Amino acid sequence: TSGSLQRPRTDQANRSYSDCEDVLNEAEVNSNWTPQEKALHEARLKAKAKRRLRKSSSRNSTSESFSESGDLAGADPNSPKGKVNTNDRKSRTGKGRGLPKKGGAGGKGVWGAAGMVYEDEEPDVRDPNYDESAQGDTVYAKVVPEIDERELEKMVNPIVQEYFEHGDTKEVQLLLKELNLGHNKYEFSSMAVSLSLEGKASHRELTSRLLSDLSGKLLSQNDMGRAFDKMLKELPDLILDTPEAPQMLGQFIARAIADHVLPMSFLDCYKGKVDCDHARVALDRAAVLLSMKREMVRLDNVWGVGGGLRPVKHLIKEMNLLLKEYLISGDVSEAERCLRDLEVPHFHHELVYEAVVMVLEAKGDKASHMMMKLLQSFWKTGLITVDQMNRGFQRVYDELPEISLDVPHAHSIMETFVDLCYQESVITKQLRDVCPSRGRKRFVSEGDGGVIKS
C-alpha cells in the first residue's frame, strides 16, 4: 500500500512479537528516509529482536512472550507487578539448564552428592567445636612443680617421722616419687640423718636401712656423698642439740660405706683437708670402725637391734644384767636409762617378773628393799604402768609352786615383799590380796595326843 512500509517477518528468527504497527507508524513519520537509512533501521530492529529471543530462550516457550513494553505475558496473575515466583528453583540469571543448583549436593544441612568421597580434614583450632581432648595425638602428662628449699623441710619431716613409726621403706619410696625434689633430692638424706640423731637408736638403725634401700633407686652415691658432706659442715650446729653428733655421724658414715651407699674412697677425699675438729672426730670414728677386724660384717649392728626387733631371749638377758648391775651399784637413774634404751615398753612386765624372782632367790633383806625402791621409782616416773606391774607380779604368783621347789621359803618371802610394796604404794590392794600363801599345819606336843590344833 502507498504511504506505508510493512516490516517483514523472518522465519529464521521466529519472531513472536507484535510490533508491526509501531514499525508502520514510525515509517510513516520518517517517510522522507533515504534507502540507506531504512536498511540501517531494519538491521537495528532485527538485532534487537534476536537479543530478546536469546534472553528468553530458557523460559517456557508457551508463556514467555514479551510485548514491546517489556511485560511478561505468561506471568502469574497473582504475583505483584508480574514478578516471577521466588520459590522457583530455576536460574533467574538467564544462564544454566534449569536444573537444581549444585545438583542437590550442597547447601545447609546436607551431606553432599551420592557417592562423593570426602578426604580427611585437619582439625582447625579456631573451630568453635574444636575439642583438644578428642584428638588422637594429644598426650597428657602430670607436671609436678619442683619443691624449693623452704617447702622441702615441711614435706620431708612428716615422711621421716611416719617412717620411724611403721618402718616401711617402700612406702617412703612411693611418697618420694610423688614429689619433684629436683636438684635438692640429696637433702632428703641429710634431713633424715639429722632427725635420727635427735631420736633413739632404733631410729638411727631405720635411717641406715632407708638410705641403703634408696641407694641406686632414687638417690645415687653422688647424692649420698653430698648429703654427708653437708652433715660434716653442719656438725658445729648439730652439737648444740646432740653433743654426741660427731661419733654418731661417724657411725653413719661407716655403716653407709659397709652398705655400699658411699664409695670406699669417701674417707680418702678428706685426708688433710678438714679444718673442723668435730668433722675430724666423725671421720676418725668411721675410719676406726672400718679398720677393725671383721668390722665390716658387724657394722650391721652398729646401732644395735632396737625395740621389738630384738629376740625375747636377748631382752631377758639384758634385763637380768640391768638388775644385777643395779644391785651392785644402786644407781636408779642408770637403771632407768638402760631400760629406756631397750625401747620395749610393752615388755616391761618381764623386768617386774625378773626383779621379784631375784628377791625370792636372794639372801637377806637388802635385795628386797633395793628392788622395792627401783620398782617404786619406775612406777612414779610412769616407766612401768599398772598393767605391766600387775602382769609381772601375777606371773610370779602363777609360778610360785615351781619356784618353791628351789626356794623352800618362797611363799613367806613373797608375802613379806608384797606387803612391803603395798606399804610403799607400789602395788594395789587387789594385787596384794590375791597373793598366794601356803597353809601351815602346826602340831601340839606329844602330851596332847598328837591332836592337830585348828
Spatial neighbors of 21 by CB under 8 A, at least 6 apart, are none
Give the other-Cβ count within 10 Å of 387's Cβ.
11
The answer to whether residues 204 and 253 touch, using CB atoms and an 8 Å cutoff, is no
Residue 95's pLDDT is what?
A: 59
The predicted model gives 119-141 an average pLDDT of 74
The predicted model gives 341-362 an average pLDDT of 89
3-state SS of 342-386 is HCCHHHHHHHHHHHHHHHHHCCCCHHHHHHHHHHHHHHHHCCCCH
Cell of 128: 568453635
Distances (CA, A) of 123 to 112, 120, 135: 20, 9, 9
What is the C-alpha separation between 168 and 422, in angstroms, rounded?
44
Q: Which of 216-220, 329-333, 429-433 has the lowest mean pLDDT?
A: 216-220
pLDDT at 372 over 90: yes
The predicted model gives 319-338 an average pLDDT of 91
Tell me the per-residue pLDDT of 173-190, one tens digit each, with 9 for 90 and over: 898 888 888 888 888 999
For the chain, domains (ranges, CATH) are 149-301 (1.25.40.180), 312-434 (1.25.40.180)
Residue 5's pLDDT is what?
A: 43
Q: Which of 114-118, 253-257, 316-320 has the lowest mean pLDDT?
A: 114-118
Tell me the per-residue pLDDT of 69-110, one tens digit each, with 9 for 90 and over: 444 444 455 555 455 555 555 555 655 555 555 555 666 666
Q: Which of 19-28, 131-140, 165-174 has the highest mean pLDDT?
A: 165-174
Give the pLDDT band of residue 20 (cuts 50, 70, 90).
Answer: very low
3-state SS of 378-399 is HHHHCCCCHHHHHHHHHHHHHH
The answer to whether residues 344 and 308 touch, using CB atoms and an 8 Å cutoff, is yes
pLDDT at 453 over 50: no
The predicted model gives 276-280 an average pLDDT of 90
Give the pLDDT band of residue 397 (cuts 50, 70, 90).
Answer: very high
Distances (CA, A) of 387 to 196, 339, 352, 390: 31, 17, 11, 5
Collapsing DSSP to helix, strand or coil, 72 comes out as strand
Residue 3's pLDDT is what?
A: 43
| pTM tops 0.85, yes or no | no
CB-count exposure of residue 366 (10 Å: 0-12, 13-18, 19+): exposed
DSSP summary character for residue 64 = -
Spatial neighbors of 126 by CB under 8 A, at least 6 apart, are none
Give the pLDDT band of residue 391 (cuts 50, 70, 90).
Answer: very high
